Amino acid sequence: MKYLSELQKIKCVVSAEYIDMSACLDTSLEPTQRKRILALLKNVDVYRLVYKVGTLNVVGYVALPHTGEKLSCLIHLRGGVGDFGMLTTQAIVGQMVKYAHEGYVVIGTQYPGVEGGDGTDMMGGTDDIASIKKLRDILKGISIADATHIGVKGHSRGGLMTYMLMREVTWVKTAVIASAPTDQISRAKKRAEFRAHQIRMWGKSRKESIRRSPIQWVDALSKKVPLLIMHGSADIRVDASQSINIVYALNERRIPVRFILFEGADHNLSEFRDEHFVQTLNWCNRFLKQNVPLPNMKLHGE
């Protein structure tokens, strides 16, 4: 509860509460897994926040290491829509606490309309993006956070939100995107049931579909933000071509990108979970903690 009073004083934070994650763990966890998680939680505190986004109250979470100064920050963008894919105990421990244990201030949002929050999640609506942007204001109010060094990591829909955020702001230093949709037009043509999902989310507007299709506006992405993109070749939810095609477009424009196609991996990269974590951590360490210069993207060599 070390940071509770500090969080409560941040202007846009309506309320903050400490969450005892050890008490929330699934009782069916294997002893070795429980022991490993409890070891992580010894060095990290988790807080639930309600914060103001315009007139809306939105729910988010932040994982803070017990020690450190001027720590680099990670915005974790969850996948799914509405309650499906929301930040749960398992997701917070596996996707936020693990990185906080490695010395990052990690923050994430449930998006509008989730877990008692106001508004409606529209999978990329104006309020959704605003709820992500506001996380930077919260990071600025955390004493151990260096809000000039912010990276973003997003999976599936969270990866799409990462692209959309990068189009609108200049403060993202690096990003890691996994299993993300990049072309809503082609997805709708291939799967009738997905077209129905799109209509539920944002209506029949082609303009709104393009707004959620990074492949249509690659030129809007900065050449100064290095990207790590990962996808599973056996992903049944989001075809790997969604990442392959945008990687090709990014490379054509000399935007720094590294692509890993995990052979036989599913949407969650389940078969390569540990490697996914290591690759993400190494990439963030490189461009956030170590401040490695951007790669030379000009054609060179013999």
**Average pLDDT rounded to a whole number, residues 81-94:** 94
* CATH code at 4-289: 3.40.50.1820
**241-252 average pLDDT score:** 98
Residue 28 is predicted with a pLDDT of 82
pLDDT digits 0-9 by tens, 259-286 = 999 999 999 999 999 999 999 999 999 9
Q: Is the pLDDT of residue 204 over 90?
A: no
Segment 171-198 shows an average pLDDT of 90
pLDDT band at 239 (very low <50, low <70, confident <90, very high): very high
Indicate the range of 200-209, 252-261, 265-274 predicted with least confidence.
200-209
Lowest mean pLDDT among 118-122, 139-143, 183-187, 220-224: 183-187
Q: Which residues of 51-61 are buried (b: 16+ CB within 10 A; e: fewer)?
A: bebeebebbbb
Note the pTM of the prediction, 2 decimals. 0.96
Q: How confident is the model at residue 231 (pLDDT cuts 50, 70, 90)?
A: very high
